[in-house]
């Protein structure tokens, strides 16, 4: 006995007390729970209270008879088995019993032993039907959720049966959806029809298939479906029927497309990204290899993009990139502005490699000159002014070129080569230029690499020294300051000047280390000079632009000064104009902080950069150092020292200090002095000298420093 049968509840409805009593007794003895009712009405009521799993129902009863009672139960949706107890064994009443919804009937007189078996059997059958119904419902629900529809195709009758879910996938219901196979084929995307028909042919030949195709839905949408079909054969092996399922996989296809979009295209510009570019280039290289051809890789960089980023902020700079991407993408022959063609990975198109770097390749490149000309015209077309947030930006590009097979035979080496060519331009400070890769660049890169490791060692092993160059006040004929300049005592190469290694240290991110060392050394020297009773002067220390942007600059300067008990008035910081202009907002803050510490600030190489009067005022700079190039021009000969005169006048009107750099001749010194710039630094007075020599000069004075002394002093 199953669980259901054992605990089953039965309702016996019979007007005959004896039958009822005996039935109840027999059934209870068999383990059932039994309730009883004496007529149809009472039976209906009892049913509502007792919720039996099966009903035994007498046919002939006063009031409503068994047939009517059964009919009413069924009308209420009751599905439990109903067994009629009938004394009328004629076919008419048997049929009437079934018509009124009875499950079975038992003739009277009742065989009590048989009864319990009939009841059990009915319960078991009802249970089986129930679970079948449930699983059908579940299946249909699952299919609806998974958007699966099923179909059957009878080959003998050519009839096509479809589930409701199937029709729903086409946006139809079973009645509206045209019958027959042709109606179905019409709803297959024209591009996929041939495949679908072929598959149907093959399944008729006994081959199962799985297939993806597009469906034209009644509502005009196109969805993608996955169909599987299996042939069913008769005893002779002849295919008589085909069964299939169809699943709507549009969501999955859309997700795959989105993933592909994310993986292969740049979000900001919609252009293919580096991954896409590499793959496309790689297949282009295979093609060229097969036919012995050439291919050019062009890497394009937006000149001074960093400045655009810093001046406009990242959002606007992103928009600038979008504009440029559109221009570059459109400007390249054979591509369109509308962009994305995800299924054509091999199309040679402009790609965005990263940040402000774009790339394209030219398959079957016909020679360097031709490629350069093409790139040149592309870049000049794309390089017109950009209007953004009320500003007009003049944009230009630089490009690095590398050729297959000469400069590399993989996408990566070619990209690397083109990158090196671009890097060479950048190091030379060139803009709006095109550079092709040369083998020398690799050599240079190698030597830079070994230089880098040597520099790391230099920091570890303390191979740097400071030299000092005096600043002389010509009017008074004495030293009024000094500039600390760093030198590298290379173990084998000898003394190396800062120009050769500072840019590299900046690139390596190690300039902060050196800067800290320089400041520390200068403070150390200052405090030792003071302790030795030498009359000290303020010492200027150079700050690199990168240091200037660092958050911890103020703290580390303060700590260093404190550690050596050196007053802030004894240290001056020299910063180039371009460093000041990198991020004008942050700069103003740093300067404010530096002033707060009591430090003074000089603009180095003044006149060569971009700073404007407005910025000088805003930054509250203390001193301008007139760049050597202007000083060298004012030799008192035929040249009118117009620029120097203007700078001097301006500094005076702003109440700023002035130092002329790189004074090499007496003539220059006289002109500067005559126009009101008496403080000078240059070979005329002294070259940068060792700490020992500088200390001596501080104590004993600098020979020749007083040759321009003014009588008044």
Cα–Cα distances in angstroms (integers) from residue 234 to residues 156, 206, 240, 313, 573, in the given order: 11, 11, 6, 75, 97
Site residues (CB under 5 A) for Ca ion, limited to 488-547: 542
Task: Say whether residue 683 binds ligand C2E (CB under 6 A).
Answer: yes
Residues binding Ca ion: number (CB under 5 A): 5
Q: What are phi and psi of 473, to 5 degrees?
A: -90, 105
Binding map of ligand C2E across residues 571-600, x = CB under 6 A, - = no contact:
---x--------------------------
Q: Which does 688 bind (CB under 5 to 8 A by kind): Ca ion, ligand C2E, none?
A: ligand C2E
Task: Say whether residue 604 binds Ca ion (CB under 5 A).
Answer: yes
Residue 34 or 631: which CB sits closer to ligand C2E?
A: 631
Binding map of ligand C2E across residues 430-469, x = CB under 6 A, - = no contact:
---------------------------------------x
Task: Say whether residue 544 binds ligand C2E (CB under 6 A).
Answer: yes
Task: Say whether residue 690 binds ligand C2E (CB under 6 A).
Answer: no
* CB 639 to Ca ion: min, Å: 21
Exposure string for 343-356, b = 16+ CB within 10 A, e = fewer:
eeeeebbbbbbeeb
Q: Which does 588 bind (CB under 5 to 8 A by kind): Ca ion, ligand C2E, none?
A: none
Q: With contact defined as beta carbons under 8 Å apart, do 459 and 502 qualify?
A: no
Task: Say whether residue 518 binds ligand C2E (CB under 6 A).
Answer: yes
Task: Say whether residue 542 binds ligand C2E (CB under 6 A).
Answer: yes
Task: Say whether residue 502 binds ligand C2E (CB under 6 A).
Answer: yes
* CB 656 to ligand C2E: min, Å: 18
Q: Which does 41 bind (CB under 5 to 8 A by kind): ligand C2E, Ca ion, none?
A: none
* CB 517 to ligand C2E: min, Å: 9
Q: What is the DSSP letter of 80?
A: S
Closest-CA residue to 19 (of 86, 70, 77):
86
Of 39, 248, 310, 605, the one binding Ca ion by CB under 5 A: 605
Of 39, 572, 574, 577, the one binding Ca ion by CB under 5 A: 574
Paired residues of 37 in beta bridges = 13
Q: With contact defined as beta carbons under 8 Å apart, do 698 and 529 qualify?
A: yes
- Output 630-635 pairs: Cβ under 8 A, ≥24 positions apart: 631/660, 631/661, 631/662, 631/663, 631/668, 631/672, 631/682, 632/662, 632/664, 632/668, 634/668, 634/671, 634/672, 635/665, 635/667, 635/668, 635/671
Closest-CA residue to 397 (of 444, 452, 447, 360):
360
Residue 223 or 486: which CB sits closer to ligand C2E?
A: 486
Q: Which stretch binds Ca ion (CB under 5 A): 247-255, 325-333, 399-407, 568-576?
A: 568-576
Residues binding ligand C2E: number (CB under 6 A): 24
Q: What is the DSSP letter of 109?
A: S
Residue 360 or 537: which CB sits closer to Ca ion?
A: 537
* CB 297 to ligand C2E: min, Å: 36
Strands 478-490 and 464-473: antiparallel
Task: Say whether residue 607 binds ligand C2E (CB under 6 A).
Answer: no
Task: Say whether residue 604 binds ligand C2E (CB under 6 A).
Answer: yes
Closest-CA residue to 621 (of 657, 645, 589):
657
Task: Say whether residue 485 binds ligand C2E (CB under 6 A).
Answer: yes
Q: With contact defined as beta carbons under 8 Å apart, do 334 and 348 qualify?
A: yes
Strand order of the β-sheet with 357-363 is 351-354, 357-363, 295-302, 397-404, 434-436
Query: Could you count the other beta carbons within 10 Å of the beta carbon of residue 666?
Result: 13
Q: Which does 497 bind (CB under 5 to 8 A by kind): ligand C2E, Ca ion, none?
A: ligand C2E
* CB 540 to Ca ion: min, Å: 6
Task: Say whether residue 682 binds ligand C2E (CB under 6 A).
Answer: yes
Distance CA 125, CA 127 (A): 5
CA angle 277, 278, 283 (to 5 degrees): 100
* CB 623 to ligand C2E: min, Å: 13
Of 313, 497, 703, 704, the one binding ligand C2E by CB under 6 A: 497
* CB 605 to Ca ion: min, Å: 4
Distance CA 663, CA 668 (A): 6
Q: Give how far the C-alpha of residue 450 lies from the chain's centroid of Cα atoms, to the nearest Å.
A: 35
Of 420, 688, 689, 695, the one binding ligand C2E by CB under 6 A: 688
Task: Say whether residue 363 binds Ca ion (CB under 5 A).
Answer: no
Q: Which does 518 bind (CB under 5 to 8 A by kind): ligand C2E, Ca ion, none?
A: ligand C2E
| 238's tokens | 């002849």
Of 249, 486, 566, 644, the one binding ligand C2E by CB under 6 A: 486
Q: Which does 650 bind (CB under 5 to 8 A by kind): Ca ion, ligand C2E, none?
A: none
* CB 467 to ligand C2E: min, Å: 7
Q: What is the 3-state secondary structure (H, E, C) of 363-385?
A: ECCCCHHHHHHHHHHHHHHHCCC
Q: Give how far the C-alpha of residue 616 lies from the chain's centroid of Cα atoms, to the nearest Å.
A: 40
Task: Say whether residue 519 binds ligand C2E (CB under 6 A).
Answer: no
Site residues (CB under 6 A) for ligand C2E, limited to 624-663: 628, 661-663
- Residue 302, burial from CB neighbour count under 10 angstroms (0-12, 13-18, 19+): buried
Dihedral sign from CA coordinates of 379, 380, 382, 386:
positive
Task: Say whether residue 623 binds ligand C2E (CB under 6 A).
Answer: no
Instruction: Report the residue number whose CB is nearest to Ca ion.
Output: 574
Distance CA 302, CA 501 (A): 26
Distance CA 198, CA 188 (A): 13
Task: Say whether residue 491 binds ligand C2E (CB under 6 A).
Answer: no
Instruction: Report the residue number whose CB is nearest to ligand C2E.
Output: 682
Site residues (CB under 5 A) for Ca ion, limited to 635-674: 661
* CB 667 to Ca ion: min, Å: 21
Considering just the CA atoms, what is the radius of gyration of the chain in Å? 47
* CB 307 to Ca ion: min, Å: 21
Q: Which residues bind ligand C2E (CB under 6 A)?
A: 469, 485-486, 497-499, 502, 515, 518, 542-544, 574, 604-605, 628, 661-664, 681-683, 688
Enumerate binding residues for Ca ion (CB under 5 A).
Answer: 542, 574, 604-605, 661
């Amino acid at each position: 006995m199953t669980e259901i049968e054992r605990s089953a509840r039965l309702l016996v409805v019979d007007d005959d007390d004896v039958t009822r009593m005996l039935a109840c007794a027999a059934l209870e003895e068999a383990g059932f729970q039994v309730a009883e009712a004496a007529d149809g009405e009472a039976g209906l009521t009892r049913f509502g209270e007792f919720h039996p799993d099966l009903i035994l129902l007498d046919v002939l009863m006063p009031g409503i008879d068994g047939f009517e009672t059964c009919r009413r139960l069924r009308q209420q949706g009751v599905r439990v088995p109903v067994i009629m107890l009938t004394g009328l064994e004629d076919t008419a009443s048997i049929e009437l019993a079934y018509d009124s919804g009875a499950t079975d009937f038992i003739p009277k007189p009742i065989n009590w032993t048989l009864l319990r078996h009939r009841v059990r059997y009915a319960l078991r059958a009802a249970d089986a039907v129930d679970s079948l119904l449930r699983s059908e419902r579940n299946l249909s629900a699952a299919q609806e959720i998974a958007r699966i529809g099923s179909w059957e195709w009878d080959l003998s009758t050519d009839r096509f049966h479809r589930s409701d879910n199937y029709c729903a996938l086409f946006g139809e219901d079973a009645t509206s959806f045209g019958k027959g196979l042709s109606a179905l084929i019409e709803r297959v995307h024209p591009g996929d029809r041939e495949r679908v028909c072929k598959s149907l042919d093959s399944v008729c030949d006994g081959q199962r298939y799985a297939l993806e195709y597009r469906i034209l839905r009644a509502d005009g949408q196109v969805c993608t479906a996955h169909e599987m079909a299996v042939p069913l054969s008769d005893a002779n092996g002849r295919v008589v029927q085909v069964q299939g399922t169809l699943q709507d996989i549009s969501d999955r296809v859309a997700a795959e497309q989105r993933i592909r979009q994310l993986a292969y295209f740049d979000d900001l510009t919609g252009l293919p990204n580096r991954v896409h570019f590499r793959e496309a280039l790689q297949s282009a290289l295979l093609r060229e290899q097969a036919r012995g051809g050439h291919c050019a890789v062009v890497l394009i960089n937006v000149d001074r993009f960093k400045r655009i980023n810093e001046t406009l902020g990242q959002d606007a700079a992103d928009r600038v990139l979008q504009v440029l991407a559109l221009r570059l993408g459109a400007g390249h022959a054979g591509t369109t502005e509308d962009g994305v063609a995800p299924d054509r990975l091999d199309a040679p198109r402009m790609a965005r490699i990263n940040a402000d770097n774009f790339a394209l390749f030219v398959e079957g490149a016909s020679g360097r000159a031709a490629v350069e000309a093409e790139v040149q015209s592309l870049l000049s077309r794309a390089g017109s002014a950009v209007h953004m947030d009320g500003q007009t930006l003049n944009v230009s590009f630089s490009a690095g070129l590398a050729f297959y097979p000469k400069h590399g035979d993989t996408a990566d080496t070619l990209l690397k080569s083109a990158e090196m060519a671009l890097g060479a331009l950048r190091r030379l400070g060139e803009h709006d230029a095109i550079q092709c890769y040369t083998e020398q660049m690799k050599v240079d890169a190698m030597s830079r690499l070994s230089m880098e490791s040597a520099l790391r060692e230099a920091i570890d092993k303390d191979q740097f020294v400071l030299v000092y160059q005096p600043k002389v006040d010509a009017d008074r004929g004495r030293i009024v300051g000094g500039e600390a300049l760093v030198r590298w005592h290379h173990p084998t190469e000898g003394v190396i000047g800062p120009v050769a290694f500072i840019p590299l240290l900046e690139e390596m991110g190690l300039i902060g280390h050196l800067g800290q060392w320089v400041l520390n050394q200068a403070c150390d020297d200052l405090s030792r000079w003071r302790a030795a009773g030498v009359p000290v002067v303020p010492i200027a220390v150079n700050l690199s632009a990168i240091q200037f942007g660092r958050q911890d600059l103020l703290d580390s300067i303060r700590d260093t000064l404190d550690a050596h008990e050196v007053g802030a008035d004894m240290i001056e910081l020299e910063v180039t104009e371009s460093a000041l202009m990198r991020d004008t907002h942050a700069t103003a803050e740093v300067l404010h902080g530096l002033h707060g510490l009591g430090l003074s600030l000089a603009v180095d190489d003044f006149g060569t950069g971009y700073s404007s009067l407005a910025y000088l005022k805003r930054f509250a700079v203390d001193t301008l150092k007139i760049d050597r190039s202007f000083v060298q021009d004012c030799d008192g000969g035929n040249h009118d020292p117009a620029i120097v005169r203007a700078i001097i006048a301006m500094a005076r009107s702003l109440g700023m200090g002035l130092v002329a750099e790189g004074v090499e001749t007496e003539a220059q010194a006289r002109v500067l002095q005559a126009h009101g710039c008496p403080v000078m630094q240059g070979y005329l007075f002294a070259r940068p000298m060792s700490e020992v020599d500088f200390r001596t000069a501080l104590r004993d004075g600098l020979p020749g420093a007083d040759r321009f002394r003014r009588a008044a002093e």
